[in-house]
Structure 1
Amino acid sequence: MAVQYRWATLGCGVIGHQLAEAMQRLGGNLYAVGNRTHAKAVQFAEQYGIGKVYDKIEDMFQDPDVDIIYISTPHNTHIKYLRQALAAGKHVLCEKSITLNYYELEEAVKLAMEHHLVLAEAQTIYHMPIYRALRERIDRGDFGPLRLMTLNFGSYKPYDMKNRFFNRSLAGGAMLDIGVYALSFARWFMSSCPQEIATQVLYAPTGVDEQASMLLKNEQREMATVMLSLHAKQPKRGMLSFDKAYVELMEYPRGDKAVITWTEDGHKEEIVAGETANALCYEIEDMERTVAGQKDFMHLDYTVDVMALMTKARQDWGMRYPEEE
């Protein structure tokens, strides 16, 4: 599928570069770039042959030639830019976590609905082909009922309290940075949003969540455990347990392979779908299909559920960011 719309990127960090590369892999290119540091935007545009660089970020929102804006600035800036982009009539794909909390997201969703726009979180899990392949088999009843899942995501970040991972002023912490993946995985497979939630937290010296655990249960009695850490390495591993089998996915944020172990005799089956390297290509394609009105491929309803869970966890802990005080 070739790129159909004119995209502008707000932010030119690691994700911005991946976006530009994905656009070119799809046979297109970003139309424009904006960044808080203008010189970086100029350098970025030169690297990828992008024709337009905005002197001020606000100019992006007022450009009549822009169809879709990809926002990849720090979490705590998202709502400010979402307000401006949506009010100006732009479709938005926003890097995760899409906002700081449920209340900001509620405001953005309302704005998008008022202006008849597509608002979505750039959550790879909702777009990687392996997840659709598994859902088809689950819906067909191949594995029997889902009973529980376990999700791990841990990285070892050195203690640099100015780094965004630990920086409270940059909305650091495990929940918004990596918990969003684990909870999106859980929501993708659960029959409904968990209604019961219990959590524990350990804080970094800056007051953000360095480590967290969660227990979840929904109305269908499906359960999940989630373990997150920014200072203890764990495999990115998701496991789903059904009556007839259990399913494991490694490196699940951009997973492309699942291993099924059948309960009755222990034999294994492998499913491969999609490619990790094309993660942003799948996001771009699904966003464009949704903007074109084919059907909703973006799962904003799941994003809302996940944000509600993350907000509830932080409320239980009493942890707030400066913007929330």
Structure 2
Amino acid sequence: MKTAAVQVAQDRPVRWGVLATGAIAAAFTADVRELADAEVAAVASRTEASATEFAGRFGIPRAYGDWAGLLADAEVDVVYVATPHSAHRRATGLALAAGKPVLCEKAFTLDAGEAGELVSLARERGLFLMEAMWMYCNPAIRRLAELVRDGAIGEIRTVQADFGLQGPFAPDHRLRDPALGGGALLDLGVYPVSFAQLLLGEPDRVQADALLSPEGADLNTGMLLGWDAGATALLTCSVTAGTAVTATVTGTAGRIEVPSGFFSTERFVLHREGAEPEEFTTEGPLHGLQYEAAEVMRCLRAGETESPLVPLDGTLAVMRTLDAVRDRIGVRFPTDR
């Protein structure tokens, strides 16, 4: 049954509940605690010891040794889901069923089918839901996309982007466990794919090749995406090689180069024929994961159920592309239908 959209009053902080206690949960919590109009009110883990330790580390007032306690907490306005990929569907679904708005880590789910279920549930219940694709909330990336839309480099012809970690990761590491959605694609490849689709939308063709681990996780993956309008994207991700982590967009009238760490950059350079390179910088009052948190809080205060910066239809389109890549390279998860 659809309910009225959750709206947080302007005169008090937005109260976050953090679900999970891993590295990304810690990074998000540290950033959110620096925002004047936010507070982390509660944390939940599968064990009370983990939740209590995390709460003590960050000064969080309430710690729960199960998800149910946090989801029933009336003083939690929004839930941040930071579990492994394999638990995103269940954790986010339970939060939405409990009437809580959700910011869910990327990759959003294991596959497009799970993502569609969550989007349908959120829309049916009139609840806010957003993928934690913080790159889309980054001011520099937003400015880059605006320039491209305004024709600064003409019609896009190529996009190149990479994200690779040196490794090695042990066979029992989550990045090599298909049951947890392990592999380079969902952890790292989601960034190059999301970058390309931010500028070009969902591709018309997907080709891919990969090196797989003995467990069946992708260790090194290359993707070639094609659009009927004439653009192509060459994207790579790896958990066996530390790549430059850069991005380039080339059009018929110029190109834009984004330096290492493209997904969280503060600058990029515009090159056009006959003109000096033009550098754009977007240093602001926020940093890191604060931009996505601020966008969630803006939406909640405005009574919005989707973010225009990270639209759910865009998330679904990215998940379809990731599914297509997995199909091409032969990666299977236990939950595949």
- So what's the TM-score if we normalise by structure 2? 0.90
- Cα drift, residue 120 of structure 1: 1.0
1:117-148 C-alpha deviation (Å, 9 max, x unpaired): 11111112110000111122222222222111
- Cα drift, residue 3 of structure 1: 7.4
Measured at CA, do residues 276 and 238 of structure 1 come closer, stay the same or move farther in structure 2, by a change above 3 Å? Answer: farther
Range 77-86 or range 311-320, more displaced: 311-320
1:51-77 C-alpha deviation (Å, 9 max, x unpaired): 111232112222222221001111101
1:78-135 C-alpha deviation (Å, 9 max, x unpaired): 1111111111111110111110000000111110011101111111211000011112
Q: Which residue of 2 aligns with 1:254?
A: 264
Q: Does 1:298 align with 2:303?
A: no
**Alignment partner for residue 328 of structure 2, among 293, 316, 322?**
316
* AA aligned opposite 2:156: L
Is this contact kept in 2: 1:201–1:212, CA < 8 A?
yes
Range 134-143 or range 238-247, more displaced: 134-143
Q: Which residue of 1 aligns with 2:7?
A: none
**Alignment partner for residue 140 of structure 2, among 126, 130, 138?**
130
**Alignment partner for residue 280 of structure 1, among 286, 289, 313?**
289
Measured at CA, do residues 2 and 235 of structure 1 come closer, stay the same or move farther in structure 2, by a change above 3 Å? Answer: farther
Q: Which residue of 1 aligns with 2:149?
A: 139
- Cα drift, residue 308 of structure 1: 0.5
SS in 1 for 2:159: strand
1-structure distance, mates of 2:168, 2:328: 27
Q: Which residue of 2 aligns with 1:237?
A: 246
Q: Does 1:101 align with 2:120?
A: no
* AA aligned opposite 2:97: A
Q: CA RMSD in A?
A: 1.9
Q: Does 1:218 align with 2:227?
A: yes
Q: Does 1:184 align with 2:194?
A: yes
- Cα drift, residue 159 of structure 1: 4.1
- Cα drift, residue 246 of structure 1: 1.1
Is this contact kept in 2: 1:290–1:298, CA < 8 A?
no
1:260-310 C-alpha deviation (Å, 9 max, x unpaired): 222335x31111114697121100111112222366333222211110000
1:3-41 C-alpha deviation (Å, 9 max, x unpaired): 742110001222222222212211232011001122121
2-structure distance, mates of 1:122, 1:222: 27
2-structure distance, mates of 1:257, 1:106: 34
1-structure distance, mates of 2:99, 2:193: 30
- Cα drift, residue 254 of structure 1: 1.1
- Cα drift, residue 47 of structure 1: 2.0
Range 290-299 or range 148-157, more displaced: 290-299
Is this contact kept in 2: 1:290–1:297, CA < 8 A?
no
Q: Does 1:263 align with 2:273?
A: yes
SS in 1 for 2:158: strand
Q: Which residue of 2 aligns with 1:86?
A: 96
Measured at CA, do residues 208 and 3 of structure 1 come closer, stay the same or move farther in structure 2, by a change above 3 Å? Answer: farther
Q: Which residue of 2 aligns with 1:69?
A: 79
Aligned residues: 323
* AA aligned opposite 2:157: R
2-structure distance, mates of 1:283, 1:301: 17
1:180-214 C-alpha deviation (Å, 9 max, x unpaired): 00111101111x31111111121012111111111
SS in 1 for 2:179: helix
Is this contact kept in 2: 1:208–1:319, CA < 8 A?
yes
**Alignment partner for residue 161 of structure 2, among 151, 154, 158?**
151
2-structure distance, mates of 1:205, 1:31: 42
Is this contact kept in 2: 1:286–1:298, CA < 8 A?
no
* AA aligned opposite 2:86: N
Measured at CA, do residues 308 and 3 of structure 1 come closer, stay the same or move farther in structure 2, by a change above 3 Å? Answer: farther
Unaligned runs of 5+ in 2: 1-9
Q: Which residue of 1 aligns with 2:178?
A: 168
SS in 2 for 1:151: strand
2-structure distance, mates of 1:231, 1:111: 37
Range 1-10 or range 83-92, more displaced: 1-10
Is this contact kept in 2: 1:287–1:297, CA < 8 A?
no
2-structure distance, mates of 1:3, 1:310: 39
Is this contact kept in 2: 1:75–1:100, CA < 8 A?
yes
* AA aligned opposite 2:335: E
Is this contact kept in 2: 1:8–1:69, CA < 8 A?
yes
* % same residue: 32
Unaligned runs of 5+ in 1: none
Is this contact kept in 2: 1:96–1:122, CA < 8 A?
yes
